[in-house]
Structure 1
Amino acid sequence: MRTRRRPRSAARAVALSLAAAVAAPVAWAAGRVLAHPVLPHAIAAPRRVLASSVGRISYYEDDGASGPPLVLLHGAAPTSSAYEVRGLFEAFRSERPVLAFDLPGYGFSEKRSEPFTREQYVHFIEDILADVSRRYGSTVDVIAIGLTGELAGRAVQRKARLVRSLSVIAPTGFDGPPSLTRAALVHARELAAKALDVPFLGAALHRAATAKPVLRAQLGRATRGRAAEELVRYTHAVSHQPSARFTILAAMTGALYDPAVVNDVYDVLGVHALFVHGDHPTCPPAVIDALVLRNSRFARVRIEGAHALPHVEQPFETASALRAFYATLSVKPQLRVIRGERVGRPFEGYRPRGSASHRHA
C-alpha cells in the first residue's frame, strides 16, 4: 500500500508546487495592475496630519469639548485599522477632546517598503503624546488596542509625566508560552524579511490573507459573528492600499510581540492602568489579576458578552467601564509633575479581592 501511495503523493506535491509557482506571479501582477480600492475616512471627524519621527501620521480629531484629551490607538494586527475605535470615538467626542490615530503603515499614515520596527512604533507614540499634551496643556489618557498596548506601555514609561492613564483593551502578553523568547522573535523578523524580499511570494500571501472571505472569517471568529460588514469592507480597503502589504505581512509574523512585556513594561508603569477584556483565552483573568495585585494603581474589567474585541462587540459597555475608571482619577488639566498626590475615589469595583485602593503611588 505504501509503495502505491508514494507516486500519488509525489505527483500531488509536484502539482501543488506548480500551482503555487503559477499563482504567485499572477497575484503579484494583479496587485500591480488592479486599482487600489478607495479608502474612505474611518471616522466622521476632521482628519489631520502630524509630522513625526517615523513620517507623516494621519489622525482624526474632535476638539469641540473640554477636558483632558483622549488618544485612541488601534491594534497592530493584520486586520486592524482606525475603524475599530470609531465606537469609542463617538462615545467620548461630546465629553472631551478625542484623537484617533492611524498607526504607521496603516490607513492614511505613511507606509514604507519595509516593516516598521517596534522601536519606531514606540517613538511614534512618544511623538504624539508630546504633541497632544503640548497643544492641550494637559496630561493625556491613552486607550490602546491589543498589541499596541505593549508599544504604548513602553512609550508611557518614557513619557510618564505627560500621561494620566493607560487603558489597554484586549491586552496581549499574558498568555505567552514559555518557549516564546526574544531569540524566537528575532527569527520571526528574519523570516518576515525574507518573505518580503520575494515579490511573488509576498504578494500572493498578502492577497490570500486579505481576501474578503478570509477577513470576514477572522473578524467573525474574534467577535463571534458580530463583525459588521462595514468593518469587513473597510479592513479590506485598508489592507489593499499601496505598500500596506509590508505592514500586514510583518504583523502576521508576530515580530512585534514582546514575551517579557508584563515584567518589563506593565509592571513598571508610572501611571494608572486599566485592562479591559472579554472571554477570549488570550486574556486569562487570573494572570492579569496577579499583575493588578502587585500595583495599587491598576485595575481589570471584563466586558460581559464580549469575546476578543470588546470595543467592537460592546462599545457602549466598554465606554461605560472606561468612564468609571476615569471618574477615579484627577481631573486637573495641568501636566502631572508631583508624584504621590492622592486624588479621586478608589476604583474598587473592578479590582480583584484583597487588592489595595486605586491611588497615585
Structure 2
Amino acid sequence: MARRPHSVLPLLARQAATVLGLAAVAGGGAWLAYSRLAIDHRLPLPRALPGRLDALDTEAGRVALYGSDEGSGPPLLLVHSVNAAASAYEVRPLFLHERGRRPVYALDLPGFGASERGRRRYTPDLMVAAIHAAAAEVRRRHGGAALDALALSLSAEYLARAALERPGDYRRLALISPTGFDARLSGRAPPGGHRGKDRLRAVLDAPPFGRAVFDALVSRPSMRFFLEKTWGSTDIDEGLLDYGYASAHQPGAEHAPFCFIAGHLFPTDATALYEALDLPVLVIHGSRGDFVDYRDLPRFAGRRNWTVERLPTGAFPHFEDLAAVTRALDGVRAEASSAVA
C-alpha cells in the first residue's frame, strides 16, 4: 500500500504534543536548569549569504536583507520557508548560482535569521509586510524595475498575496514546494485570516519554560529528524543543519516558531490567492518526504500562466538537484522575457 503523503498540520500537531510533553518534564526543573545553564543561546551566527547585508526598518520590525547587485537583468528576490530554524540560508544554493549573473537578494523574515525576534504574534500580515518592504528596497536600487521572486514552502502563500496586493512589483513568481494545495491547508476564507490558536501559543511561549521547550525542539537530533522528513532521506545538507542550529540558538529565536506551531502563520485563503494570480507562475516540487500532498495542483497546471515541474527529490530540490531547478527557472525567465518583448 502506498504511503499517504503527510500535510503540515498533522506534523505540527505532533510537534505541539511533543513540546507540551517536554514542558511537563521541564516543570520538574531539571530540563529548565539544563536549558538555562548548559545551552548557549548566543551562538555565533555568521552571515547566511555573501554580499551586502542591510537592516531595513519596516512595519514588521527590523528585517535583514542580503544582496548582490552584480550582473544584469531583472533582480531576483528569494524568500525562505517558515519552520523552527528557518533563515535565508535555505536559499543559499540559488543565491550563489544567481550571484554575478543578475542582481539577487534574500531576506530573513521577521522572527528569523538576522531579523528582529521580539515576543509578538507573528502572522501572515507581518510576513507580507516584510516582503513588501524588501521588494520596495530592491526596486529602489534598480530604477523601479519589477522583480522576479521565489519563495519556499509556506512563504509561497505570503509571496502570492504580496504580488496580488502590489502587482506592479513583480514580473513572475517561482514557488518551490508551496503549501496550500492539500486538503487541510487550502481555503477560500476572507483575506488576512490565519489558523492560530492563541491559547496554545500562550502556553508554548510562556516564560520561564518556553525557551526550555524550544531548546528540546531544536536539539540536533530533533532538527535532523525533521530535515530527514523534508528530504525524504537521511542524506540531508549538513551545512543547513549547522546553520539552522546556530540560528535557533539566538535570543528570542523561539517566538516566531511558536506562532508557527500554534497556527498563526498559516493563512486560510491559500486557494483564493493562487487562483487570483495572473502573472507567470512556476511551481517546482519534489516527490519524496513528508510534504508531497499536492492533490489540488493539477487543476492549476492547466492554466496558461502556470508551469509545474515535479522532481525526484525532497521538499528542498535546489539543495539536491540545483541544475534541474535552475533550468526550470531559466526556462520560465526566457518565456517571460519573450512575452514582455
TM-score range, shorter chain: 0.7 to 0.9
Residue correspondences, number = 314
Q: Is the 8 A contact 2:185 2:270 kept in 1?
A: no
Matching residue within 279, 297, 301 for 2:287? 279
The CA RMSD measured in Å over matched residues stands at 2.6
Where structure 1 has 5 or more consecutive residues not aligned to the other structure, the ranges are 1-15, 332-341, 345-361
The answer to whether the aligner puts 1:241 opposite 2:250 as a matched pair is yes
Q: Distance in 2 between matches of 1:233 and 1:89?
A: 18
Q: Distance in 2 between matches of 1:129 and 1:19?
A: 42
2:178 corresponding residue in structure 1: 171
Q: Distance in 1 between matches of 2:34 and 2:187?
A: 33
Closer, same or farther in 2 for the Cα pair 1:97/1:26, shift >3 Å?
Answer: same
Q: Is the 8 A contact 1:176 1:259 kept in 2?
A: no
Q: Distance in 2 between matches of 1:244 and 1:178?
A: 25
Q: Distance in 1 between matches of 2:217 and 2:287?
A: 25
Q: Distance in 2 between matches of 1:209 and 1:327?
A: 43
Q: Distance in 2 between matches of 1:252 and 1:324?
A: 36
1:101 corresponding residue in structure 2: 107
1:204 corresponding residue in structure 2: 212
1:325 corresponding residue in structure 2: 332
Q: Is the 8 A contact 1:87 1:312 kept in 2?
A: yes
Closer, same or farther in 2 for the Cα pair 1:68/1:99, shift >3 Å?
Answer: same
Matching residue within 249, 254, 259 for 2:263? 254
The structure that has the greater radius of gyration is 1
- Give the deviation of 1:80 after TM superposition: 1.8
Q: Distance in 2 between matches of 1:79 and 1:268?
A: 31
SS at match of 2:296: helix
Q: Distance in 1 between matches of 2:117 and 2:68?
A: 25
2:6 corresponding residue in structure 1: none
2:127 corresponding residue in structure 1: 121
CA deviations on 1:64-92 (whole Å, 9 max, x unpaired) are: 11110000000012232111111001111
Q: Is the 8 A contact 1:277 1:310 kept in 2?
A: yes
TM-score (norm 1): 0.80
Matching residue within 137, 157, 167 for 1:150? 157
Q: Is the 8 A contact 2:176 2:284 kept in 1?
A: yes
- Give the deviation of 1:110 after TM superposition: 1.2
Q: Distance in 2 between matches of 1:187 and 1:139?
A: 33
Q: Distance in 2 between matches of 1:179 and 1:94?
A: 37
Closer, same or farther in 2 for the Cα pair 1:47/1:19, shift >3 Å?
Answer: closer
TM-score (norm 2): 0.84
Q: Distance in 2 between matches of 1:19 and 1:80?
A: 25
Q: Distance in 1 between matches of 2:33 and 2:260?
A: 24
- Give the deviation of 1:40 after TM superposition: 0.6
Q: Distance in 1 between matches of 2:102 and 2:71?
A: 5
Q: Distance in 2 between matches of 1:19 and 1:78?
A: 19
Matching residue within 208, 221, 224 for 2:229? 221
CA deviations on 1:167-216 (whole Å, 9 max, x unpaired) are: 110110111338999799545243113321x2133122200000011111
Closer, same or farther in 2 for the Cα pair 1:288/1:162, shift >3 Å?
Answer: same
Q: Is the 8 A contact 2:111 2:117 kept in 1?
A: yes
Q: Distance in 1 between matches of 2:185 and 2:176?
A: 23
Amino acid at match of 1:144: A
1:39 corresponding residue in structure 2: 45
| Percentage identity across paired residues of the two chains | 30
Amino acid at match of 1:113: R
CA deviations on 1:253-297 (whole Å, 9 max, x unpaired) are: 3321124301x201001321111100146444552121232x311
Q: Distance in 2 between matches of 1:181 and 1:24?
A: 42
Amino acid at match of 1:165: R
SS at match of 1:199: coil
Q: Is the 8 A contact 1:226 1:313 kept in 2?
A: no
2:278 corresponding residue in structure 1: 270
1:159 corresponding residue in structure 2: 166
